[in-house]
A = this chain, B = another copy of it.
Amino acid sequence: MTSATSFDQYLRTRRTQIDAALDSVLPAPPTCPPLIAEAMRYTVFAGGKRIRPILALAAAEAVMEDQSTDLCSHADLSRVMTGACAVELVHTYSLVHDDLPAMDDDSLRRGRPTAHVVFGEGIAILAGDALLTQAFIILAQNKPTDPPDAEHRRVRTIARVAEAAGAGGMVGGQVLDLAATGTGTGDEGALRDIHERKTGALINAAAVSGAILAGGSLATVEAIDAYATHLGLAFQIVDDILDVVGTTDELGKTAGKDATDCKPTYPSIYGIDHSRLLAAEAVAASRAELATAGLGGRLAEIADWVVSRTR
Contact = CB atoms under 8 A, between A and B. Distances in A.
Contact of A125 (B103, B141, B179): B103
A142 interface: yes
A167 B32 contact: yes
A274 to B, nearest CB: 28
Contact of A133 (B35, B122, B166, B174): B166
A304 interface: no
Interface stretch (A48-56, A153-161, A246-254, A288-296): A153-161
Tell me how many chains of this kind the complex includes. Answer: 2
A155 B140 contact: yes
Interface residues of A, number: 51
Contacts of A174: 126
Contact of A151 (B100, B137, B152, B162): B152
A90 to B, nearest CB: 9
A19 interface: no
Interface string A116-158: 0000111101101110111011011110000000011011101
B102 A176 contact: no
Given A125-B97, A134-B167, A140 B152 contact: no
Given A97-B125, A126-B175, A132-B132, A140 B167 contact: no
Which of A36, A156, A166, A178 is the most central at the interface, judged by chain B CB atoms within 10 Å of its CB?
A: A166
Contact of A130 (B31, B156, B171, B179): B171
A27 interface: yes
A35 B175 contact: yes
A94 to B, nearest CB: 9
Interface string A239-271: 000000000000000000000000000000000
A194 to B, nearest CB: 10
15 contacts: A31-B168, A33-B179, A103-B126, A123-B175, A123-B178, A125-B125, A126-B175, A134-B167, A136-B158, A137-B162, A137-B166, A140-B155, A140-B162, A151-B155, A154-B155
Nearest 6 A-B pairs (CB), nearest first? A102-B121, A140-B159, A32-B167, A133-B166, A130-B167, A136-B162
Interface of A: 27, 31-33, 35-37, 40, 93, 97, 100, 102-103, 120-123, 125-126, 128-130, 132-134, 136-137, 139-142, 151-152, 154-156, 158-159, 162-163, 165-168, 171-172, 174-176, 178-179
